[in-house]
Amino acid sequence: KAGSCLVITGENIKEKIPISAFEHVFILSNVTVTSQTLKFLSQHKKYVFFINRTGKLISMVIPELLPSA
């Protein structure tokens, strides 16, 4: 993440995607996601879905629904 953007990097790619440009995140391959990124997405009410190569849901991260005390 960088400011209000999600940063995606790979071998030959580095993209910044504004948080307002997408509704949720679907992760379909072997990637590394930091805990800071998951927190950032959660704070912005974005669900994160981890899908295996056959399309089966493995796990998901649910956004913060209530403010922390």
Are 27 and 49 contacting, i.e. CB atoms less than 8 angstroms apart?
yes
Q: Which residue has the tokens 């629904």?
A: 65
Q: Which pTM does this prediction carry?
A: 0.80
Cβ-Cβ contacts under 8 Å for 15 (sequence gap 6 or more): 7, 8, 9
Task: pLDDT tens for the chain, 69 residues: list them.
Answer: 557 899 988 889 999 999 999 999 999 988 889 999 999 999 899 999 999 989 999 999 999 776 665
Nearest CA-CA partner of 35 in 43, 67, 10: 43
